[in-house]
Amino acid sequence: MEQKRILEKAKAYRDYTAENLSKIIQVPGFSRTEKERVLLLKRLCEEAGMEDIRIDGLGSLLGRIGAKGGKKLVFDAHIDTVGVGDPAQWKLPPHSGLVKDGLVHGRGASDQLGGAASMITAARILKDLAYKGGYEVWFSFTAIEEDCDGLCWKYLIEEEKFVPDFVVSTEPTSCRLYRGHRGRMEIQIEIRGVSCHGSAPERGESAAYKAARAALAIEKLNTELKPDDDNFLGKGTITVSQIKVHGPSQCAVPDQAMLYCDRRLTWGEDDKLAIAQVERALEAAGVDKFKVFMPEYAEPAYTGLVYKQELYFPTWKIPADHFFVRSGVDAYKGLFAAEPVVDKWTFSTNGVAICGRHKIPVIGFGPGDESQAHAPNEITRVDDLEKCAAFYAALPYAMEARS
């Protein structure tokens, strides 16, 4: 019975959801500059009937529906976006928020403001239904994810002691049900050489040539990385994303080099393993006088708070037969009379902190496509927004039925 009412309300609120997404897109909110977007979202949450609305020290917004005292079920959307890139590649202004022909246009439409808009509608539906079930249903609109995924949740859990029992990431999944993704880390390699005049390079040790050998060693290492045991997440990867070489002048052999690497981590891989692999690869390639380390993130939020963490984002997944995954399947089947596709993300999400660091179960279900993330002419489908709003409202009922 609830499922039918939820579907009816999600359909009735279809335009409301799309219009809210349009409003959110029209207020730019890049990482660490999200204040005005957060204030808009706060007003929308108030209008939807949320309670206990507050903004935390790092600038994330929280609101609740349902009676207090039960386990915390949280729906999470990061509300910062990447920049727009080359404006000439956009057919419409990047922050137009145009709603036309069943699509919403603009930066963040899929990654991942669509999830935020559907969450607000789900809260309104639960309020309309006077939800008083066994869960505190929370909605988090989190900051700084694009700069440092999971930092917002590391702060919420460790500093504000806001600890959920279950979390739904509303990152784009094309309305599929996701249960994990590879982790990642950033690795910096610093290499020293010995400078000399460029007219007699044999007198020095070129950091540029060492960097070239190091880059080829990283390329080879990438081919040697293995998938996880059940091949659900796939193989780890490593790639060189930056190379910088410095010396005393343009007429000198360079004595300093830096390589920056993006490392994706499959199940069973961690930061210590990844750094040791790089060290061995460089040694095998004949590179000497190097240091391999993991940099740290230390940038101020729009609130002014600087909250630091190493650039390590642990791998996570939960089993296909986990209570939370099965509840998600139940909610989907009950609403749409079909089996959901259960899969994983290719990119990274706040799940790296929630489940990767803190072992809190996470599933993913969101509007839009992962392929739209960070691309020009970003869109999401209004059909997805409606479907996700219904799923979010139905999930606590499905969890109670399975408990």
How far is the C-alpha of 295 from the C-alpha of 54, rounded, in Å?
Answer: 32
Instruction: Tell the burial category of 84 from Cβ atoms under 10 Å away from its Cβ (0-12, 13-18, 19+).
Output: middle
H/E stretch holding 149: none
- Compute the distance between CA of residue 141 and CA of residue 150 in angstroms, rounded to an integer: 13
pLDDT attached to residue 403? 87
> Which residue in the list 136, 145, 255, 269 is annotated as catalytic?
145
SS3 59: coil
- Using DSSP, state whether 91 is helix, strand or coil: coil
Helix, strand, coil tally for the chain in percent (to 5): 35, 25, 40
pLDDT mean by block of 10 residues, the chain; 403 residues: 93 98 98 98 98 98 95 98 97 98 98 98 98 96 98 98 98 98 98 98 98 98 97 97 97 98 98 98 98 98 98 98 98 98 98 98 98 98 98 98 92
Tokens of 128: 């309309």
Domain ranges (residues) in the chain: 2-181+315-402, 183-297
Structure tokens at 388: 């996700």
- The closest alpha carbon to 109, from 403, 356, 379, belongs to 379
Q: Label the pairing between strands 135-142 and 71-78.
A: parallel
pLDDT at residue 1, rounded to an integer: 61
User: For residue 317, what are its two tokens?
Assistant: 């997944």
The model's pLDDT over 274-329, given as tens digits with 9 standing for 90+, comes to 999 999 999 999 999 999 999 999 999 999 999 999 999 999 999 999 999 999 99
Q: Give the C-alpha separation, 104 to 117, whole Å.
A: 11
What span, in angstroms and rounded, lies between the C-alpha atoms of 21 and 98? 10
The catalytic position among 34, 56, 76, 80 is 80
The per-type count for the chain, helices as H runs and strands as E runs, is 10, 20
Residues in the chain: 403
145 is catalytic: yes
User: Which residue carries 């610093």 as its tokens?
Assistant: 190
Strand 166-169 with 71-78, pairing: parallel
Tell me, what's the pLDDT at 154?
98
Asked: is 183-297 a CATH 3.30.70.360 domain? The reply is yes
What are the DSSP calls for 244-278, one per residue?
EEE-SSTTB---EEEEEEEEEE-TT--HHHHHHHH
- Residue 369 a catalytic site member: no
pTM of the model as a whole: 0.96
CATH number of 2-181+315-402: 3.40.630.10
